Amino acid sequence: MSHHFPGEDADSLQTLFRVWDIFLVDGMDVLFRLAFAILKIGEHELLLCESVPALYVSLESLPTRMWESGKLLQVRVTS
């Protein structure tokens, strides 16, 4: 499980605990909201990808950089 928590610093653990708290209260919907928030935060980087392999690499690395709980949980996803 250690590969899910890079550095295991205070920020990553705080984010983990906040996500679990929200998940236990709100259920599965929170997982979809968080996935969309990660995509929204990385939107600019993803749009700069010039090939499908580059997109895969960017998508794979996005979640490992999303340990700022305040930023992650405050993103509003709009259409």
Give the model confidence (pLDDT) of 31-45 as tens digits: 888 888 888 888 999
Q: Could you tell me how many residues make up the chain? A: 79
Let me know if residue 7 belongs to a domain.
no
More confident residue, 5 or 66: 66
User: What residue type is assigned to position 20 of the chain?
Assistant: W
Let me know if residue 19 belongs to a domain.
no
Let me know if residue 8 belongs to a domain.
no
Closest residue by Cα to residue 75 from 15, 12, 5, 9: 15
pTM: 0.63
Separation of alpha carbons 76 and 14, rounded Å: 20
Residue with tokens 């990660």: 38
Domain that holds residue 45: 28-79
29: pLDDT confidence band, cut at 50, 70 and 90? confident
The count of domains in the chain is 1
